[in-house]
């Protein structure tokens, strides 16, 4: 089991794969999909500069920011700063990415819904240029 620091709600978890994330991101699963809940719940820690690749959720996703400052961007729209206490309701099939800023870590709880057996479709990485632009 990973150590929990004194300020985070949950342990950092296991490092997420580079095929879907840039930088150092970690997942601590909180609740698996089961007969009562058609979603998965997890705490995701993004170290400074870490972010998801572009992706979509066929039935949407909710992010609850629990620590730090991050970024959320939908395709074709400017990036938004997100902070502790923010709740981001991501509509189904909206291409987006999220993660830490260049200088701050960010932790969120992700509630990810399923459609059939699928809860995410991963797309291309967020380029360093796009990430730099989002941090302005």
CB 113 within 8 A of CB 37: no
* Half-sphere CA count of 30, side-chain side, radius 13 A: 17
* Both tokens assigned to 136: 């302005």
Q: What pLDDT, in 10s, does the model give residues 81-110?
A: 999 999 999 999 999 999 999 999 999 999
Helix (H) or strand (E) holding 130: helix 128-134
CA dist 119 → 51, 107, 114 (Å): 18, 20, 4
Given the structure tokens 């961007």, which residue do they identify?
A: 73
CB 26 within 8 A of CB 52: no
All structural domains of the chain, each given as residue ranges with its CATH number in brackets, are 14-134 (2.60.120.10)
CB 102 within 8 A of CB 48: yes
CB 58 within 8 A of CB 93: yes
* Both tokens assigned to 62: 């909710």
pLDDT of amino acid 84: 97
CA-wise closest residue to 42 among 52, 29, 33, 51: 29
Q: What pLDDT, in 10s, does the model give residues 61-85?
A: 999 999 999 999 999 999 999 999 9
* Both tokens assigned to 100: 């830490």
Label residue 127 by pLDDT band (50, 70, 90). Answer: very high
45 has a pLDDT exceeding 80: yes
Instruction: State mean pLDDT over 30-42.
Output: 97
Name the pTM for this structure. 0.93
3 has a pLDDT exceeding 70: no
Instruction: State mean pLDDT over 41-65.
Output: 98
129 has a pLDDT exceeding 60: yes
């Amino acid at each position: 089991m990973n150590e929990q620091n004194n300020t985070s709600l949950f342990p950092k978890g296991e490092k997420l794969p580079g095929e879907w994330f840039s930088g150092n991101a970690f997942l601590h699963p909180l609740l698996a999909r089961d007969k009562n809940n058609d979603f998965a719940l997890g705490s995701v820690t993004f170290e400074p500069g870490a972010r998801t690749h572009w992706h979509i959720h066929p039935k949407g996703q909710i992010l609850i920011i629990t620590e730090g400052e991050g970024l959320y961007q939908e395709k074709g729209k400017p990036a938004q700063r997100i902070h502790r206490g923010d709740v981001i309701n991501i509509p189904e099939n909206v291409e987006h990415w999220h993660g830490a800023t260049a200088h701050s870590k960010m932790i969120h709880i992700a509630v990810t819904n399923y459609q059939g057996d699928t809860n995410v479709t991963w797309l291309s990485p967020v380029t360093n240029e796009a990430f730099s632009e989002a941090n302005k």
